[in-house]
Structure 1
Amino acid sequence: MRVTRFAPSPTGPLHLGHAFSALTAHARAEGGTFLLRIEDIDRQRSKPEWERRIYDDLRWLGLEWPKPVMRQSERISDYRAVLERLWAEGLLYPCSCNRRDILEAASAPQEGGPRFGPDGMIYPGTCRGHDRSGPLPEDMPLRLDLRQAMRRIDGRLRWTETGTDPGQREIDPAALIESVGDPVLARRDMGTSYHLAVVIDDADQGVTEVVRGRDLLEATPLHVALQRLMDLPVPDYHHHRLIRDETGRRLAKRDDARAIGLYRAEGASPADIRKMIGL
C-alpha cells in the first residue's frame, strides 16, 4: 500500500506551490494513505497560528489525513537517540564554526573556493579532528563524518525516481562525499536538522514514496545515504515541478500575494486553485 506525505513548516502562509505539492501527494496516494506532518523543529520561526492555517487551507482544498498529526517538535528524544548511536560509533563530531569561518576556510587557495551542496556551503572539515570521546555534546552543532560513514556502506547508493525523468538512480559514495561534505545533523537550539529528522520521520511513518519539489532533488543522495547508514527503508522519490511567478522564480513563503488564504478571502474556489497550478 502506497503511503505519501505532505510535510510543511508552520513558518508562514501556504502558497500555490504548497497546494500543488499537497494535492500531488494526495493523488499519488490513491488507494493508500496520505499523511500530514508538521515540520516545526525551527522553534523560533514556527508559530501556532501558521499551523492552524495549514489545517484550514488543506481542509478547504478537500484534503483529509489520519489523526493525530506527527509534529517534529514532539520527537526530539527520537532524534536524540539516533544521534547518541552515531556518536557512540564515532561518526559525529562537534563543530564550532560559524558561517564566516566556513566561508574563509572554503575560500583558502588549497580549497579552490567555496562550493555549495544540499546542506549549503560544502564544509571543508575544519573541526573534523575535534575530540569525539565522552558523552554526546549538548546544544552544539554536530556534523556527520561522511567519509567514515560511507565506509560502513557497501556498494553504490540506489533509489527509484518516479517524478520528472523517472527511473533508477545511483551515486558512488565518493561522489557523494565530494558534492556534500560533512552535513550538519544537529543544529544549535533545534536538537536535530532537517536531513536527519526527515529520514527518521519517513521511516517511522512507513512512507513508501516521498513527494516533494525539484528544489530538494539534490538532497536525495544524502537522504538515501542516511537511510542506508541507519538501516532504514529507502522509499521511492517523486520530485515534481515547481510553481513559479511571472518572472520564473519559484514561490516562497514571502510571496504572500499568492497565499492560499488570500485567494480564499477573495472568493476563489478549490477548483480555481487547481486550475491556477495546472491540475
Structure 2
Amino acid sequence: MSYRGRFAPSPTGHLHFGSLVAAVGSWLCARRAGGQWLLRVEDIDPPREMPGSAESILAALPAFGLVADAPALYQSSRMAAYDAAFEQLKARDLVFPCWCSRNDLAGGLHLDGHCRAAPSSDREPAWRLRVPDLAIHFDDALQGPQRQNLRNTAGDFVIRRVEGYYAYQLACVVDDAYQGVTEVVRGNDLLDSTPRQIYLQRCLGLPTPGYLHLPLALDDSGRKLSKSEQAHPVDPTHPMPALRRALGFLELPIASHAHAPVDLLEHALAHFDPTLLPHCSERVAA
C-alpha cells in the first residue's frame, strides 16, 4: 500500500501553534514519501466541541499551504462503523459493562476484567475492554523502541462512555484502518495511547500502521499548548510568521526569501529527514 498519513484535529477551538506543528510534521512525512495526506475531524465528543471550530480549522490549513488529498472525514458520520466494531468485541466477550464510579476505583486502574460495582437500572454503564497482563512493543520512528505493560499502565480502559459516546481509542483505530493510514504522525502526548490502539487493532483484526510522535510545543508552565487551555490561535490571514515558527520548532531550514507558505514548505521538504526531527518537547513564546 502506498503511504497515507493524516492530521486529525478535535473541533474544540481554532487552529493553534501546537496543532500547526503537528499538521506540518504529518504533511512533510506524507509528501516526502510521495503519499497522500488526509484529514479527519474527530467530532465525537459534543460536550467539548466549539461551534464552528471544525470549519475554522479546515479553512485555515490551506492558508498555510497544507492542502489535503481528499475531503475531510467527520467521525460524527461514522457511528455505524463504531457500532459494528463494538459489537464485534462484544461477541468475542472482550468487553464488559461497568457501573464503577471514580470513587469505586479510588483513583486507580480497573484491573478485574469485570465490574466491581452492582449493576444499576438507574443509569447506563460504560463499557470497558478486558486488558490482559500483556507487554506491547513497537518502534516509534522518532522516539525509538517502546514497551508498555498494558494492564499495569491502562487497565481495563473505556471504549464506550456512560453517555453513549465512543472513546477516542476505538474511533481512532477504526478510522485509521478505514482511511488506509500507513503511518500516524502526531504529538508525543499520545505516545502512551499507542499500545492501547495496537491492542485494539489486534482484537478487531485491523492492520497496525507505523507511528511517529512529534515533540510538543509547551507553554511557559511546561504544559502542552492546547485549544482547551485557550492557546492563542494562529492567524490564517497572515500565515508566514506562524509557519516560519513551526518549521523552526521542528528544526527545519527556512527559506529566507520565501514570499508564500508553499515556498516555505517546498524548501523545508527538499531538506526534510524525519529521523533528524527533535525528540524533546520545548517551551515556546506566547
Whether 2:190 is the aligned partner of 1:205: answer: no
**What is the CA deviation profile of residues 103-159 of structure 1, one whole-angstrom value per residue up to 9, with x for unaligned ones?**
2xx5xxxxxxx3xxxxxxx22448537899xxxxx96310111139x6xxxxx6443
Unmatched segments (≥5 aa) in structure 2: 253-286
Q: Match of 1:40?
A: 43
Q: TM-score, normalised by structure 1?
A: 0.78
More displaced stretch, 196-205 vs 45-54 = 45-54
Q: Match of 1:153?
A: none
Q: Match of 2:132?
A: 147
Cα–Cα, structure 1 residues 257 and 206, in superposed 2: closer, same or farther, change >3 Å? Answer: closer
**Matched-pair contact (CA < 8 Å) for 2:17–2:246:** no
Secondary structure at the counterpart of residue 237 of structure 1: strand
Following superposition of structure 1 onto structure 2, how do residues 105-184 of structure 1 map, counting pairs within 5 Å? Answer: 114=108, 122-125=109-112, 127-128=114-115, 140-147=125-132, 157-164=136-143, 166=144, 168-171=145-148, 175-184=149-158
Distance in 2, Cα, partners of 1:127 & 1:245: 40
Cα–Cα, structure 1 residues 275 and 146, in superposed 2: closer, same or farther, change >3 Å? Answer: closer
Distance in 2, Cα, partners of 1:274 & 1:53: 19
Secondary structure at the counterpart of residue 139 of structure 2: strand
| Aligned mate of 1:60, from 60, 63, 66 | 63
| Superposed displacement of residue 252, structure 1 | 1.6
**What is the CA deviation profile of residues 55-99 of structure 1, one whole-angstrom value per residue up to 9, with x for unaligned ones?**
122111111113331111111111111111111111111111222
Distance in 2, Cα, partners of 1:214 & 1:257: 18
Distance in 2, Cα, partners of 1:255 & 1:268: 24
Paired letter, 1:128: C
**Matched-pair contact (CA < 8 Å) for 1:15–1:255:** no
Q: Match of 2:73?
A: 70
Cα–Cα, structure 1 residues 271 and 169, in superposed 2: closer, same or farther, change >3 Å? Answer: closer
Secondary structure at the counterpart of residue 29 of structure 1: helix
Paired letter, 2:207: P
Secondary structure at the counterpart of residue 132 of structure 2: helix
Cα–Cα, structure 1 residues 210 and 266, in superposed 2: closer, same or farther, change >3 Å? Answer: closer
Q: Match of 2:99?
A: 96
Cα–Cα, structure 1 residues 60 and 270, in superposed 2: closer, same or farther, change >3 Å? Answer: farther
Secondary structure at the counterpart of residue 93 of structure 1: strand
Aligned length, in residue pairs: 245
Cα–Cα, structure 1 residues 13 and 276, in superposed 2: closer, same or farther, change >3 Å? Answer: farther
Distance in 1, Cα, partners of 2:244 & 2:171: 34
Q: TM-score, normalised by structure 2?
A: 0.76
**Matched-pair contact (CA < 8 Å) for 2:7–2:38:** yes
Cα–Cα, structure 1 residues 248 and 129, in superposed 2: closer, same or farther, change >3 Å? Answer: closer
**Matched-pair contact (CA < 8 Å) for 1:158–1:224:** no
Unmatched segments (≥5 aa) in structure 1: 107-113, 115-121, 133-137, 151-155
Secondary structure at the counterpart of residue 260 of structure 1: coil
More displaced stretch, 9-18 vs 19-28 = 9-18
Cα–Cα, structure 1 residues 274 and 94, in superposed 2: closer, same or farther, change >3 Å? Answer: same
The percentage of counterpart residues that share the same residue type is 36
Distance in 1, Cα, partners of 2:113 & 2:125: 15
Distance in 1, Cα, partners of 2:192 & 2:88: 26
More displaced stretch, 241-250 vs 194-203 = 241-250
Distance in 2, Cα, partners of 1:92 & 1:126: 8
Q: Match of 1:277?
A: 249
Q: Match of 2:208?
A: 234
Distance in 1, Cα, partners of 2:89 & 2:13: 33
